[in-house]
């Protein structure tokens, strides 16, 4: 009987605490900027000044508190003090502020120019690489036939890319540093692939990589042609994470790493059984490429679980892998994409929802808000995809010539989700105590 009373008392206490938190959250969301400033100043006086100073300050500005009690005001003030960052705001234009804005815009444009320049250099190299090689061979072969033969030129470019990666972090200018390092990574990967495939023209060794990913080559050849260059590129990116001050290399690490893992010989031999996890029911219309993608998703899912269990987590890499997996599950859950049969389709819906909920839970347990937000975004996308797909799949109606009504319905659906979040915020608070 005492246990029952204790549990009943605990339940009442939890409900009261939740009601208090909800009331304070509503008050917090309705505070004006002036009231927030008052409560922040009140919290500073309570914390760093004598108690009498804080009391006098409260009485002097009692009109600004409205119907907020002293106890509520103390809790709101403490919350604002803990979670407020003071920022420098411009109230009166001046020459100093104008120069500060110019320098800020210059830094933003510098970063944008660096990334755009790196992408442009890579695309230009891919497009004109054969012509550049042919021109070099044509003009320098008479004098340096050995030095500039296709094989020797490949080794020389590989050495040049290694030196560029090694010395790149020492370059002070962000634009030049980013362009040189990314171009060196691409050239290094290309030359490694050319050396291991023994094909020295870019279209030849890219075709070899494509054949390996399509299972048109032997597992050992796929390992040499794809995994080894990607693993070495992954090692270079991992070294740049520690050696270079730029923050985007941890997000780029997952791309060559997962490509290398996909073509490992042990995994190539079990791709068919792995694809059965996502498509357990046989169906005549399941294509080979869909089975390969399903196997890649299962491998990526296993890597995601391993990264979660590691004692030290690489947050950017985990975030990129999470985004890739959510997009992959969403694509495979669309019937028009896979055409895998109704039983496999139903099973994919269960797996997709389970994974997205697992992402949200994992983000809340690890304290990673970006992972949690990624899972919430994936859940909203899943709802919207089903909104457009289910009426057609169930034979209720087709969206042809009804796109305007469909968009209106989608707008109402999104509005309903927003209202649900607004009126039930506690359902969407994922914190790890």
Please report the pLDDT score of residue 11 as a whole number.
Answer: 41
pLDDT given for residue 398 in this prediction: 65
Residue spans of the domains in the chain: they are 24-83, 112-253, 270-433
Task: Pull the structure tokens for residue 209.
Answer: 């990589």
pLDDT tens-digit readout, 346-364: 888 888 889 988 888 888 7
What radius of gyration, in Å, describes the C-alpha atoms of the chain? 29
Degrees to nearest 5, angle at CA 276 with 270 and 271 = 20
Confidence of residue 4 (pLDDT cuts 50, 70, 90): very low
Q: Please tell me the distance from the alpha carbon of residue 413 to that of residue 311, in angstroms, as a whole number.
A: 40
Cα–Cα distance between 401 and 78 in angstroms, integer? Answer: 56
Closest CA to 147 of 131, 159, 130: 159
pLDDT for position 341: 75
Give, as one character, the DSSP assignment of residue 202.
H
Cβ atoms within 10 Å of 431's Cβ, excluding its own: 9
Instruction: Express as a percent the part of the chain with pLDDT over 70.
Output: 77
Contact by Cβ (8 Å): 335, 393: yes
Q: Is 422 or 113 the better-scoring residue by pLDDT? A: 113
CB 327, CB 342: distance < 8 Å: no
Question: What gap in Å lies between CA 293 and CA 227, rounded to an integer?
Answer: 17
Strand (E) positions, 120-241? none
Do the Cβ atoms of 213 and 258 come closer than 8 Å? Answer: no
| Interior/surface letters 354-384, b for 16+ CB within 10 angstroms, e for the rest | ebbeebbebbbeeebeebbebbbebbeebee
| Confidence bin at 19 (pLDDT 50/70/90) | very low
The rounded distance, in Å, linking the Cα atoms of 321 and 378 is 13
> Quick one: pLDDT at residue 55?
75
Residue 74 has pLDDT above 80, yes or no: no
Count helices and strands in the chain by DSSP H and E runs: 21, 0
- In angstroms, the Cα distances linking 307 to 235, 247, 250, 357 are 18, 20, 14, 17
pLDDT for residue 44? 77
The confidence score (pLDDT) of residue 431 equals 53
pTM (2 d.p.)? 0.59
């Amino acid at each position: 009987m005492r246990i029952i009373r204790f549990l009943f008392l605990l339940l009442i206490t939890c409900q009261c605490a939740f009601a208090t938190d909800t009331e304070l959250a509503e008050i917090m969301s309705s505070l004006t900027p002036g009231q927030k400033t008052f409560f922040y100043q009140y919290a500073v006086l309570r914390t760093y000044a004598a108690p009498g100073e804080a009391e006098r300050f409260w009485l002097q500005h009692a009109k600004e508190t409205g119907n907020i009690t002293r106890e509520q005001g103390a809790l709101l003030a403490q919350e604002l003090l803990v979670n407020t960052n003071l920022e420098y705001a411009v109230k009166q234009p001046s020459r100093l502020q104008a120069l500060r804005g110019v320098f800020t815009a210059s830094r933003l444009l510098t970063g944008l120019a660096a990334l755009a320049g790196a992408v442009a250099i890579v695309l230009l190299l891919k497009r004109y690489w054969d012509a550049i090689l042919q021109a070099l061979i044509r003009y320098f072969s008479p004098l340096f036939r050995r030095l500039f033969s296709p094989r020797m030129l490949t080794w020389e470019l590989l050495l040049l890319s290694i030196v560029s990666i090694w010395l790149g972090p020492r370059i002070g200018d962000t634009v030049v540093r980013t362009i040189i390092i990314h171009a060196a990574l691409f050239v290094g990967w290309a030359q490694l692939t050319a050396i291991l495939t023994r094909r020295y023209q870019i279209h030849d060794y890219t075709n070899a990589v494509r054949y390996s990913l399509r299972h048109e080559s032997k597992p050992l050849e796929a390992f040499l042609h794809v995994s080894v260059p990607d693993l070495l590129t992954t090692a270079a990116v991992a070294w740049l994470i520690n050696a270079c001050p730029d923050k985007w290399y941890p997000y780029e690490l997952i791309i060559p790493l997962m490509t290398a893992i996909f073509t490992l010989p042990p995994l190539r031999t079990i791709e068919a059984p792995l694809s059965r996890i996502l498509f357990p029911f046989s169906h005549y219309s399941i294509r080979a490429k869909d089975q390969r993608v399903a196997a890649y998703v299962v491998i990526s899912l296993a890597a995601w679980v391993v990264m979660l269990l590691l004692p030290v987590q690489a947050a950017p890499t985990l975030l990129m892998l999470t985004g890739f997996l959510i997009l992959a599950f969403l694509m495979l859950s669309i019937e028009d994409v896979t055409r895998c049969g109704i039983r496999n389709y139903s099973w994919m819906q269960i797996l997709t929802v389970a994974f997205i909920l697992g992402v949200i839970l994992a983000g809340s347990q690890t304290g990673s808000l970006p992972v949690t937000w990624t899972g919430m975004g994936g859940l909203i996308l899943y709802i919207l995809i089903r909104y457009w797909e289910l009426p057609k799949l169930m034979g209720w109606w087709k969206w042809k010539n009804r796109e305007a009504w469909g968009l209106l319905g989608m707008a109402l659906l999104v509005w309903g989700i927003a209202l649900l979040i607004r009126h039930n915020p506690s359902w969407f608070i994922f914190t790890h105590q």
